[in-house]
Amino acid sequence: MAYTITMIPGDGIGPEISEAMRRVVDSTGVQIDWEIQEAGADVMDKYGTPLPDQVIESVQRNKVAIKGPITTPVGTGFRSVNVALRKALDLYANLRPAYSLKGVKSRYEDIDLVIVRENTEDLYAGIEFEQGSDEAIELIEFIKERGGKLRFEDAGISIKPISVSGSERIVRFAYEYARREGRKKVTAVHKANIMKYSDGLFLRVANEVGEDYPDIETEDRIVDNMCMQLVQKPELYDVLACPNLYGDILSDLCSGLIGGLGMAPGANIGEEHAVFEPVHGSAPKYAGLNKVNPTALILTSVLMLKHIGEREAADKVFNATRDVIAEGKNVTYDLGGTAGTSGIADAIIDKIQS
């Protein structure tokens, strides 16, 4: 069966790592028509926006997309295309596996964790009131009238909504993922002892959803303790179900456990659509040099192949990538080698086809 998949190469190092990934996936024999869609800083002049409508329409049509990183200018310019895509397609689940690979320098071995991060709520909902604005002053008055106390009134305010619906769907996603992937345990991460009505709600819903999955162990950890535990005893953990902010922080912590962002794959998944993208950014200073490591995007394609049901091809890509990195002969500079972006892809393709 042939698939049509949207490919968004992105900008910076995006196009070259996307090309490497595409060649690796094609070498498995899975028939994919790649529908290439341009987005990012490079298309601003052509379309007047970094996220033209046809990009979203293409993902809506094809249901599955894989993308390279896209630059978000700091201070001026446009808002994050990555965040806009997640919002437009309601990609509520951010999946970030973190596993050790032999040949990658790290303080830890045998890490095998999966962060499932809620992508739409929490302090990232974008509901903020600037210090001194009429809205902030009005809100502070409202809080005082309702018996709330502020130590100082010259405060900026960010709202943290956590809903039953949002918590239920992300926790269920974590359990379904655990079941599908043969994982043993889901740990809900929270700070329910302090934030009783937001994190407390998340914890309650997580425990209720856990009752529907008696085959998988359910537990919870307070986020500060979770940080220490991950550093001291990462082997005790498996799938972590997290509200947005804790998931963001813990996924970088877990990337640190496996030797850095360059190896970290990711996926943004909704009810109908999925956009697969590595955790790292567009590294503009390396753009066009055929130098950077395409591994994170290639491992991201493993998640995509599993998502469309091509498990055998996913295993082939994963095993070949793992073996090339373990051998250490044809790897990029960040892994201590001299191969270029296309060189490591060639080595992976040779393994897949041998």
Which stretch, 69-77, 157-165, 190-198, 200-208, contacts ligand NAD (CB under 6 A)? 69-77
**Residue 331 CB, nearest distance to ligand NAD (Å)?**
11
For residue 284, give the nearest of 67, 15, 11 by alpha carbon: 11
Residue in this structure with the two tokens 């986020």, named with its chain if needed: 223
Q: What are phi and psi of 310, to 5 degrees?
A: -95, 70
- The residue from 280, 316, 322, 351 that contacts ligand NAD (CB under 6 A) is 280
Tally: H helices and E strands in the chain? 12, 12
The DSSP output letter for 261 is G
Q: Which residue number, 91 or 174, has a Cβ lying nearer to ligand NAD?
A: 91
DSSP letters, 13-33, are THHHHHHHHHHHHHTTT--EE
Q: Binder to ligand NAD among 6, 18, 58, 82 (CB under 6 A)?
A: 82
Contact 178, 215 (CB under 8 A): no
Instruction: With beta carbons less than 8 A apart as the criterion, state whether 251 and 92 touch.
Output: no
Q: Which is nearer to ligand NAD, 69 or 247 (by Cβ)?
A: 69
Q: Partners of 60 in the beta sheet?
A: none
**Interface with ligand NAD, residue 300, by CB under 6 A:** no
The C-alpha angle with vertex 194 and arms to 189 and 195, in degrees rounded to 5, equals 75
Cβ partners under 8 Å of residue 20, min gap 6:
294, 297, 298, 341, 342, 344, 345
**Is there binding between residue 70 and ligand NAD (CB under 6 A)?**
yes
Q: Which of 99, 177, 191, 237 is catalytic?
A: 191
Q: Which of 283, 302, 305, 313 binds ligand NAD (CB under 6 A)?
A: 283
Options 99, 124, 175, 177, the catalytic residue: 124
Instruction: Compare residues 6 and 82 and give the one whose CB is closer to ligand NAD.
Output: 82
Q: State the catalytic residue, choosing from 42, 199, 238, 248.
A: 248
The region, left, alpha or beta by phi > 0 then psi within -120 to 50, assigned to residue 272 is: alpha
Per CB under 6 A, 343 contacts ligand NAD: no
Minimum gap (Å) between residue 39 Cβ and ligand NAD: 10
Least Cβ distance, residue 88 to ligand NAD (angstroms): 15
Q: Which of 205, 292, 324, 348 binds ligand NAD (CB under 6 A)?
A: 292
- 152 by Cβ neighbours in 10 Å (0-12 / 13-18 / 19+) ranks as exposed
Q: Which residue has its beta carbon closest to ligand NAD?
A: 281
Task: Specify whether 199 is catalytic.
Answer: no
Q: How many residues in the chain?
A: 354
Angle at 317 between CA 285 and CA 6, to 5 degrees: 65
Q: Give the pair of three-digit tokens for residue 88.
A: 């437009």
**Region from 200-208, 240-248, 268-276, 288-296 binding ligand NAD, contact rule CB under 6 A:** 288-296
Q: Is 337 in the site for ligand NAD (CB under 6 A)?
A: no
Stretch that binds ligand NAD, among 91-99, 101-109, 292-300, 302-310 (CB under 6 A): 292-300
Query: Quick one: tokens of 151?
Result: 């130590």
Shortest Cβ 87–ligand NAD spacing (Å):
14
Alpha helices (runs of H) in the chain, residue ranges in sequence order? 14-26, 44-47, 53-62, 81-88, 134-145, 164-180, 199-210, 223-232, 244-257, 295-307, 311-327, 341-353
Residue 124 catalytic? yes
Q: Is 248 a catalytic residue?
A: yes
Site for ligand NAD in 250-279 (CB under 6 A): 261-262, 277
Selected from 4, 54, 72, 319, the binder of ligand NAD by CB under 6 A is 72
Q: State the Cα–Cα distance between residues 297 and 307, nearest whole angstrom.
A: 15
CB of 77 to ligand NAD, least distance (A): 10
User: Taken in order 180, 186, 192, 195, is the CA torsion positive or negative?
Assistant: negative
Q: Which of 281, 306, 342, 343 binds ligand NAD (CB under 6 A)?
A: 281
Annotated catalytic residues are: 124, 191, 224, 248
Q: Which residues bind ligand NAD (CB under 6 A)?
A: 69-72, 82, 261-262, 277, 280-283, 292-293, 296, 334
